[in-house]
Amino acid sequence: MRLRQGVLAQSIFFTAAAIVAISTAALLLFTGSRGLAVFSFMGPGEFFLGTSWNQNDQTFGVLPLLLGSLLTVGLTLLISGPLALGVAIFMVEIAPDPVRRVMRTVVELFAALPSVIYGLLGLTLVVPWVRVITGGGLGKGILAAVIVLVFMTQPTMVSIAEDALRALPESLREGALAVGATRWQMIWRVLLPAARPGLITAVVLGTGRAVGETIAVQMVIGNITSRLPESLVRGATTMPAAIVTQLPEATSPEHRAALIMVAFLLLLITFGLIAAVRAAGAIGSPRRPTRRRRLTPTARPAAAKGAIDV
Amino acid sequence: MYNEPREARVTRDVVWERRIIAARRRAALVDRAMTGLLALAALGLALVLSAIIFIILRAGLPALSWSFLTSASSITDPGGGIGPQIFVSIYVLVLSLLIATPVGVGAAIYLAEYARPGPATNAIRFSTEALASVPSVVFGVFGAIIFLTTMSLGFSVLSGSLTLALLNLPLMVRIAEDAIRSVPVAYREASLALGASRWETIRKAVLPSALPGIITALVLTGGRILGETAPLILTTGTTISPNARYSLNPLQTGETLAVHIWVLKIVGVPGLKDAQLVADGSAAVLLLIVLLINLAMAFFTTRLTRRLRGVGRAPRAGGSKKG
Amino acid sequence: MIQRWVYRPWTAFALMLLIPALVACGGAASPHAPTAAASLTTTAPTSTGGELSGQLTIAGSSALLPLIQEAANQFQTKNPKVQITVTAGGSGAGRTQVCEGKIDIGNSDVPISDAEKTKLNCPDAQGVAVAIQAFDVVANKQGPGTVTNLTKVQMMDIFSGKITSWKDVGGDDTPIVLVNRAKGSGTRANMAKFLFDGDDALFAAGASEEDNNETVKQTVAQTPGAISYLGFAYLSDPSLLAFSLDGVAPNKSDIKAGKWLIGGPGYAITKGAPAPLAKAFLDFVTSAEFQGGATFDKLGFVAVK
C-alpha cells in the first residue's frame, strides 16, 4: 500500500518535471515551425537583408529590427555594465552593514517594478528630457530606450555581481592587504580578475534581459520599422517592440509568419547568450598550472640546497 | 651590489624609497577617489529608485478613491475607474498560480528528492534553465500560437493564465528546489530512521520545513505575474466587454491593470478626458501592490522560518533576478 | 498482481500524458472546425423573443474607434448576452483582417476599392456608411504663434515638406516637426485625398509614422513645433491647436452644412452579407436612435443621413 502510494507520488512528480522539459521543446518547436514558414512567402535574403519592414507594402526585411536591437542593447551594456559593477563593488567591499542592507532592499525593489511603470516614467520624464537636450524632435528613440534600459538591467547585474564578489575567499583579500595594497588596488588587481566568470555571467544575463525587454522599450522608442535606425533620437524599433506592436493586428499570413520568425530569432539569440555564459564560466575556472618562480640572486643558493620550495 | 661604494647604495635606496612613497600616495588617492565615485554611483541609484516611487505616488495618489478602485470607466465621460481591470488582474493571478504551483512544486520535489543523475535529469535541468532565460514576449507569441489559435481559446483569461504559468514555471521550480534542498539532511535521516517511507518523509518532514521557501516562490511569482504586460497583450487582449465585467468566465477577453496602463498611453482611449489621471492612478495602484507584496514577503519569511524551523535562514530569493 | 514495470515513473508518466493528449486532440479535432468558425463568426440569435447572444470582433480605423466603442457599449447594455471587442489597428488592417475572416467587422475611413477586393480575395465585401467623419490639421500650441488659419496651399506645402519653418506661414521661428501616420491609415488616406488628390507619395517622410490617432494626439501635444492631422473626435485636447481651413472653422455646424472639406463617410465593412449578430449591430449603429443620440455630438461625428 505504502509502496504503491510512494511510486504513484514519484510518477506524479516526474510528470510535473517532464512537463517543464516538454514545454521548452514545444516552445522551440512551435515558434520555429511557424516562424520558418515565412520562407515559403519570401526568400531568406529578402528577409534577412531587407532594410524596410512595412506591413502596408507587405515587405518584411528584418534589418531595421536587428540593428535597432543591436544598437539599443550595445549602448545599454556600455553604460549599465560598469555602473552595475561599481554598485556591486560598493555594496560588497565599501559599504558599512546598514548601508548594504538598505542598498540590497533598494535593488530588490528595483527588480520587482513592473516594466510598464518604467515605460510610463520613460514617456513622462525621459522622452521630454531627451527632447530638450536634442533641441526638438520627438524625443522618442534609441537614446530614450537606452536610458530606461540602463535602470532596468541594474538589479539583475548588481545582484549577480554581488554574489560573485561575495563568493571570493577571504584569503584573497587578506593576502592582498597583507602585502600592502590599498583597498582599491585589492579590488582592481585581485578581486575583479578572480571574480571574472561571475562578473561575465552578470553582464551577459543583464544583456539577456535588455534584449528581451518589450514594453518599456516599446513605449519610448517610437516604433518606426519602415527604415533603418537613422539616429539615436529619431524613431526606431527593436525586435520585441515590433512584435508586441504588430502581432495583435497582423495584416496577413506573411506578416504573422514574419513576426513569429522574429520571435524565433529572439529565442535563438537568448539561448546563444546562455551558452556564452556557460562557456565563459568554463573558461574562467580551470586553474592555471603554477609556474616556476624566478629566484632573486640571494635565494638561489638556498633553493639549490632545497631549503626553499620552488 | 655588495661592491658598490656606500654612497651610491644609499642614494639608490633613497631614490627607491621616494618612488615607493610617491606610489603609495598615488594609490591612496586613487583609492579614495574610486571609493567616492562608487559611493556616488550607488547612492545615485538608490536616489533614482526613491524618486521613481515618489513621482508615481505623487501623480497617482490624488486619483485614488474607493469609487476609482471599484467602478468602471466610460468612453465618453470622465470620472471612471479601474475596478474591472483590478478584477481581471486578480483573476489572472489566481488562475496562473493554480496552474503553475502544482507543476512547479512537483518538478522541484522530483529534482530535489527523486532525480538520479542521468540523461533524463540532465534534460530536465537544462530545459528549466533554458526556459528561465526566454524573454516574456516569446512566451506571448507561443501562447498566441498554441492557446489562441491551435486550441481555439481565443483572446481569453485562460490563454493568458496558461502563458503566464509557463513563463513563471522556471522561477517557481528554482526557488522551490532551493527551499527543499535547504532542509537539513538530519530531518530526512531522522524520519527515515523512524521507519517512514520516502514519500512519507517528503510529505511529513521535508515539505512542511520547506514551506516558507515555497510560499516565497508563490509570492515572488505572483508579483511578477501582476506586472507582466507583453504576453497578456498577445493572449488576453486589451479590452473588457461591458457585459463581462466581474464575470468568472475564463474564456472572455480581459485587460489587466498593467495592460490598461499600456493601452491608455499607447493605444489610447479617445474621449476619456482624464486618461492621464487614470493612467497615473493605475500606475500608483500597481506600484503599491508590488511594494506591499515585497514588504509582506520580507516580513513573513523571516517569521515563518523561525517558527517552522527554529533559527534557520530563509532561502534567499535570488532567483528572480537571474534573467 | 500488476507487473512491476507499471510502477516505473516512465510508464505512469506516459499514461498520464497520453490520456489528456488523446482527449485534447479528439476533443479539439471535432469541435475545432466549428469552434474556430464560431469564434470568428457570430452565432445566430435565438428565435424566441429575439434575444441576441454571441461574440463580435471589430477592428480597424482609430478615427472611428470612439464611435464604434460607444455604440458597442450601448448595444451590449441592451443585449447582455452579447460580447463585443473593438480595437484599433488602422483602416488598412481593418479591411485586410475582415477579408481574411479574422474579424467580423472592419472599420475603415475609406471604402474598400475594387482593386483591393481582388487583391484581398473578397469580391463580396460590403461596406455600410456609419458616420460622416471630419479631419483637421492640428499643431502644438508652440510654433504657430498667432496663426489659427491655414490655406489649402499652405497645408499642401507643409505636408509635402516644402515649408519647413513656422515663420514661413506667419508663426514663430520654430522648425516644423511633421508627424505622419503609417500608410495603412484611413485618416492619412483622407488627408491625401484632400491635399494631393489621393497621391499619397507626395507626403514628406516626416519625423515619425504613428500607429493611431491617440499617439498622434499625444505626440503633437508634447512636441513643440509639431503638426499633424486627426479625426474630429480627438480634437478636444486643450493643448492642441486646430486650424481653420481657408476661413472655415472646424465646428459641427460647418460640417453639417457641408462647408468643411476634409472628410468623408466612415464605413463598416463585412465579408459578404453580415451575419445576423453583425447585422443587428450595424442596424443599431445606423439607426436613427443612435445617430441622433448624444454620442455623435459628444464625439464630433455627423449623422450619415
Contact assessment for residue A212 and residue A269, using Cβ atoms and an 8 Å cutoff? no
Lowest mean pLDDT among C34-38, C133-137, C164-168: C34-38
In whole angstroms, give the CA distance from residue A136 to residue A128: 9
Collect all residues with Cβ–Cβ distance below 8 Å to A242 and sequence separation of at least 6.
A53, A65, A223, A225, A259, A262
Mutate to test the interface with B, among C16, C39, C82, C234 (most CBs of B within 10 A): C39
Question: Which of B173, B226, B230 is opposite residue A244, by nearest beta carbon?
Answer: B230
Name the CA dihedral angle for B85, B88, B93, B98, rounded to a multiple of 10 degrees: 170
Q: What is the mean pLDDT of residues A221-250?
A: 85
Q: What is the pLDDT of residue C217?
A: 85
Q: What is the mean pLDDT of residues A277-302?
A: 56
List the subunits that have 3+ CB pairs under 8 angstroms with C: A, B
Lowest mean pLDDT among A242-251, B77-86, C20-29, C154-163: C20-29
Q: Does C146 touch chain B (CB under 8 A)?
A: no
Q: What is the pLDDT of residue A238?
A: 92
Contact assessment for residue B86 and residue B256, using Cβ atoms and an 8 Å cutoff? no
Q: What is the mean pLDDT of residues B112-121?
A: 85
Report residue A214 as a C-alpha cell.
518589450
pLDDT band for position A228 (50/70/90)? confident
Which residues in chain A have their CB less than 8 angstroms from residue C89's CB?
248-249
> Distance (Å) from the C-alpha of residue C235 to the closest C-alpha of chain B?
10
Q: What is the mean pLDDT of residues B22-26?
A: 90
C39, B154: Cβ pair inside 8 Å? yes
pLDDT at B312 over 60: no
Q: What letter does residue C175 receive in the DSSP assignment?
A: B
Q: What is the pLDDT of residue C275?
A: 87
Q: At what angle do helices A253-284 and B136-143 cross, to 10 degrees?
A: 140
Residue carrying C-alpha cell 523571516 = B302
Q: What is the pLDDT of residue B297?
A: 79
In whole angstroms, give the CA distance from residue B189 to residue B318: 28
Q: What is the pLDDT of residue C49?
A: 45
Q: Does A148 touch chain B (CB under 8 A)?
A: no
Q: What is the pLDDT of residue A302?
A: 55
Question: Which of A116, A181, A240 is opposite residue B258, by nearest beta carbon?
Answer: A116
Q: The CATH number of the domain where B191 resides is what?
A: 1.10.3720.10
Lowest mean pLDDT among B59-73, B270-284, C26-40, C71-85: C26-40
- Scanning A60-99 for CB atoms below 8 A from B yields 83, 86-87, 89-91, 94-95
Domain holding B150, by residue range, is 81-308
Report residue C79 as a C-alpha cell.
443585449
B239, C214: Cβ pair inside 8 Å? no
A17, B233: Cβ pair inside 8 Å? no
Percent of chain B residues past pLDDT 90, beyond the cut: 23
Per-residue pLDDT of B94-109, as tens digits, reads 999 999 999 999 999 9
Residue B37 lies in a domain: no
Phi then psi for residue C236, to 5 deg, are -75, -10
In CATH terms, is domain A10-282 a member of 1.10.1380.10? no
B27, A185: Cβ pair inside 8 Å? yes
In whole angstroms, give the CA distance from residue B209 to residue B211: 5
> Distance (Å) from the C-alpha of residue C14 to the closest C-alpha of chain A?
8
pLDDT at A299 over 90: no
Residues of C with CB under 8 A from a CB of A: 7, 9-10, 12-13, 16-17, 59, 87-90, 92-93, 96-97, 100, 174-175, 177, 179, 182-184, 207-209, 211, 219, 222-226
Ranges of H-type helices in A40-187: 44-49, 63-89, 97-112, 115-121, 127-133, 142-166, 170-178, 183-185
Which residues in chain B have their CB less than 8 angstroms from residue A10's CB?
110, 114, 199
Mutate to test the interface with C, among B243, B266, B272 (most CBs of C within 10 A): B243
Q: What is the pLDDT of residue B101?
A: 93
Report residue C194 as a C-alpha cell.
484632400
Contact assessment for residue A280 and residue A204, using Cβ atoms and an 8 Å cutoff? yes
> Distance (Å) from the C-alpha of residue A275 to the closest C-alpha of chain C?
29
B130, A24: Cβ pair inside 8 Å? yes
Contact assessment for residue C224 and residue C144, using Cβ atoms and an 8 Å cutoff? no
Can you name the residues that pair with C57 across neighbouring β-strands?
C85
Q: What is the pLDDT of residue C31?
A: 38
Percent of chain B residues past pLDDT 70, beyond the cut: 89
* Apex A301 CA angle, A300 and A305, nearest 5: 115
Which has more confidence, C209 or A175? Answer: A175
Q: What is the pLDDT of residue A83?
A: 93
Q: What is the pLDDT of residue A156?
A: 87
pLDDT band for position C85 (50/70/90)? confident
Residues C5-30 as b/e (b if ≥16 CB within 10 A, e otherwise) read: eebebeebbeebeeeeeeeeeeeeee
pLDDT at A149 over 80: yes
Per-residue pLDDT of B128-178, as tens digits, reads 888 988 999 999 999 988 887 778 777 888 999 999 999 999 999 988 998
Q: What is the pLDDT of residue C39?
A: 36
Which residues in chain C have their CB less than 8 angstroms from residue A254's CB?
none
Q: What is the mean pLDDT of residues C73-102?
A: 83
* Conformational region of residue A92, where left means phi above 0, alpha means psi within -120 to 50, and beta covers everything else: alpha
Can you name the residues that pair with C302 across neighbouring β-strands?
C132
Question: Which of B76, B265, B270 is opposite residue C213, by nearest beta carbon?
Answer: B270
Residues B194-213 as b/e (b if ≥16 CB within 10 A, e otherwise) read: eebebbbbbbebbbebbebb
Percent of chain C residues past pLDDT 70, beyond the cut: 83
> Distance (Å) from the C-alpha of residue B240 to the closest C-alpha of chain C?
8
Question: Which of C16, C59, C207 is opposite residue A249, by nearest beta carbon?
Answer: C59
Domains assigned to chain C: 10-132+263-299 (3.40.190.10), 134-256 (3.40.190.10)
Which residues in chain C have their CB less than 8 angstroms from residue B269's CB?
214
Can you name the residues that pair with A199 across neighbouring β-strands?
none
Q: What is the pLDDT of residue B153?
A: 77
Question: Which of A6, A15, A23 is opposite residue B199, by nearest beta carbon?
Answer: A6
pTM of the model as a whole: 0.82
Per-residue pLDDT of A81-124, as tens digits, reads 999 999 999 999 888 989 888 888 888 888 888 999 999 999 88
pLDDT band for position C23 (50/70/90)? low
Mutate to test the interface with B, among A1, A8, A13 (most CBs of B within 10 A): A13
- Scanning B168-207 for CB atoms below 8 A from A yields 169-170, 173, 197-200, 202
Question: Which of C28, C85, C233 is opposite residue B239, by nearest beta carbon?
Answer: C85
pLDDT at C27 over 80: no
Amino acid at residue number B153: L
Q: What is the mean pLDDT of residues A219-243?
A: 86
- Scanning A253-282 for CB atoms below 8 A from B yields 259-260, 263, 266-267, 270-271, 273-274
Give CA separation, A221 vs A233, C14, C222, in Å: 9, 47, 15
Q: What is the pLDDT of residue C14?
A: 63
Measured in Å, how far apart are chain A's first and last C-alpha atoms? 66
For the beta carbon of residue B296, count every other beta carbon within 10 angstroms: 11
B268, C70: Cβ pair inside 8 Å? no
For the beta carbon of residue C153, count every other beta carbon within 10 angstroms: 12
Lowest mean pLDDT among A19-33, A184-198, C20-34, C72-86: C20-34
Percent of chain A residues past pLDDT 90, beyond the cut: 31
Q: What is the pLDDT of residue C16?
A: 58
pLDDT band for position A70 (50/70/90)? very high
In whole angstroms, give the CA distance from residue C265 to residue C108: 9
pLDDT at A135 over 80: no
Q: How many beta-carbon contacts under 8 Å exist across A and C? A: 83
Q: What is the mean pLDDT of residues A198-209?
A: 88
Domain count, chain B: 1
List the subunits that have 3+ CB pairs under 8 angstroms with A: B, C
The continuous run of DSSP H or E covering C86 comes out as strand C82-87
Which has more confidence, B101 or C216? Answer: B101
Q: What is the mean pLDDT of residues B236-251?
A: 77
